[in-house]
Amino acid sequence: MGDNASGNRGRAIRLEVPLLIENPVVASGCCAVPAEDVLREELSWPGVTVSDIDTTGGRVDLQLSEEAPAIEKLIRGLESAGYPVAGVTTREDPAGTRATTAAPA
C-alpha cells in the first residue's frame, strides 16, 4: 500500500493498545509524561485526527482523511514509542455499520 492509504476519506479507526492500561505515564528524562501526549505526538500526521485516547480502556480512536498515511505506518509509530497495537477496528461508513477487526500484521 506504500506510505499513503487510498480510500481513507472519513475512515474511523480504533486501535486496541492494552499497554495504555498498565502504563498511562511514560518516564522521560526528569519528568513523567502522560502516554496520551506521547501517542498524540506519534500520530501527528497530515490527515490524522486523534478523536480519543482512552488510557483506562486501552483504546485510541482516529479519524483518517485522504492525506493520512497507511495505518501500518501509524501502528509502527506507536510501537516505536513502546505501545504495541493488539487490534484494529475500521468503520468505513459514517454510521459505523460495516466494521472489520484484525490484528496488525
User: Which domains, ranges and CATH numbers included, belong to the chain?
Assistant: 11-102 (3.30.70.100)
**pLDDT score for 2:** 42
pLDDT value of position 10: 75
Residue 74 C-alpha cell reads as 501509524
pLDDT at residue 50, as a whole number? 96
Tens-digit pLDDT profile for the chain (105 aa)? 444 445 566 789 999 999 999 999 988 778 889 999 999 999 999 999 999 999 999 999 999 999 999 999 999 999 999 999 999 998 764 544 444 445 555
Count CA atoms within 13 Å of residue 93 on its CB side.
Answer: 5
Task: Check residue 79 and give its pLDDT.
Answer: 96
Question: What's the confidence (pLDDT) of residue 97?
Answer: 42
Strand partners, 58: none
Cβ partners under 8 Å of residue 63, min gap 6: 10, 11, 12, 13, 48, 49, 51
Q: Please tell me the predicted confidence (pLDDT) of residue 103.
A: 53
Q: Bridge-partner residues for 48, per DSSP?
A: 64
Distance, CA of 95 to CA of 23 (rounded, Å): 32
